[in-house]
Amino acid sequence: MSQSSSRVDRAPILVLGGGIGGMSFAILASRAGWPVHVVEADPNWRVYGAGITVTGPTYRAFRSLGILDDLKAQGYHVTEGGRICIPNGTPVADLQDRPIQPDLPVSGGIMRPDLHALLSRLTREAGVRVSLGLTATEWTDQGDRVEARFSDGSTGTYDFVVAADGAFSKARSFLFPDAPRPAYTGQYCWRVVAKRPPEIDRSHFFVGAPVTCGLVPVSQDLMYMWLLENVPEMRRVDEATAYQRLAALLAPFSGPVGAVRDALNADSLVNVRPLEAVLLPRDQWFKGRSILIGDASHATTPHLASGAGIAVEDALVLVEELQRHTDAPTAFQAFTDRRFERCRLVVESSVAIGKAQQDHVSPETMGAMMAKAQAALLADI
């Protein structure tokens, strides 16, 4: 009997969460011959947010996932580094980035809903069973299998559980009640989608004002603007007037950022959220036949644009280790050994860069911090 057919004869893998990490794992595991059941709490399987920035290491991960061509058909992708500008829009420096692999883009962007739609289509095409509007309320590790109970009263038997249910993971709380939870890092991130003028042909960063912001192309017609606001304590943001608050924050800018500000109105889709991060200790990444991946074990802030990338990397490495080991807990330990330091690099560096912004360190110091972390991320996974 082939290895692939023997996997199909086993109990399925239960994947909790239908986000980037969960879908990436489900696609890879199904292609490798495992039966997979994805359980997603949202009955409409929606995704919120504006665009996301794609970096070289993330392109590499997407290539390994087998979706690079699909990704290139959407979004906006460039072979040049970003551009640094002062608040009035005048360029002052170009970042001399090189592709991580010869034929990969240096950077780019895509609308988050477009990436979600691509991954959800590929998940279904891979033959993954998807249950929407459902959560796992509890599960019991029987040593050689897992018995799960769901919110609709149904039950199921699974080989093991992969929890990819986000930064505020219920699975994490179920498995490790004393695990650390995401902590506020002192900043809010604002995002809004706008029409892309021709001159925004790559990522642009605007420095020198009381706040830092950027413009990232996500298609031939669109870009998204992000802005980081230093806020000592978390507070509620009124959605109805969020555009007015964002316009006030953008007051120091002119040029293309000023144009975005001037176009804001009550119908603008402004996305704002507090930045929170968590890194679980190494001994809380898995327990028996259950493992946490993606934001469930290492939620980061967007300062290195690596959250999505390391979630896909998690999926790639976990499937590799499951193929190398016949015992799930042994594979989980090997996964943790490979992933912990890299994910710690992303989380701790991102939080440190955010703290440096709040402390108003010099642009040279900030640049050195980012360059060091980005260079480390070029290493193989």
Per-residue pLDDT reduced to its tens digit, 310-327: 999 999 999 999 999 999
Banded pLDDT at 8 (limits 50, 70, 90) = low
User: Of 298, 330, 290, nearest to 314 (Cα)?
Assistant: 298
Distances in Å between the Cα of 342 and the Cα atoms of 165, 219, 299, 303 are 20, 30, 13, 15
- Give me the chain's average pLDDT, please: 94
| Res 97 pLDDT > 90 | no
Q: First CA to last CA across the chain, in angstroms?
A: 32
**pLDDT above 80: residue 43:** yes
- pLDDT number for residue 5: 46
Helix-helix angle 56-65:307-324, to 10 degrees: 40
pLDDT per position as a tens digit, 191-231: 999 999 999 999 999 988 899 999 999 999 999 999 999 99
Q: Reply yes or no on whether the pLDDT at 6 is more than 70.
A: no
> If you average pLDDT over residues 61-87, what whole number do you get?
92
| pLDDT (average), residues 103-119 | 94
Which residues touch 195 (CB under 8 Å, ≥6 apart)? 221, 222, 223, 263
Is the Cα torsion angle 218, 224, 230, 233 positive or negative in sign? negative
Residue 209 tokens, joined: 């004002």
The whole-number pLDDT of residue 353 equals 95
pLDDT for 267 beyond 80: yes
Q: Is 157's pLDDT higher than 80?
A: yes
Contacts of 81 (CB under 8 A, 6+ apart): 94, 95, 96, 97, 106, 107, 202
Residue 93 has pLDDT above 60, yes or no: yes
Q: Which segment of 145-154, 238-247, 354-363 scores lowest on mean pLDDT?
A: 354-363
Type of residue at 80: E
Contact between 27 and 65 (Cβ < 8 Å): yes
- Residue 253 confidence class, pLDDT cut points 50, 70, 90: very high
Are the C-beta atoms of 107 and 203 separated by less than 8 Å? yes
Alpha helices in 169-250 (DSSP H): 170-175, 242-249
By CB neighbour count within 10 A (0-12 exposed, 13-18 middle, 19+ buried), where does 179 fall?
A: middle
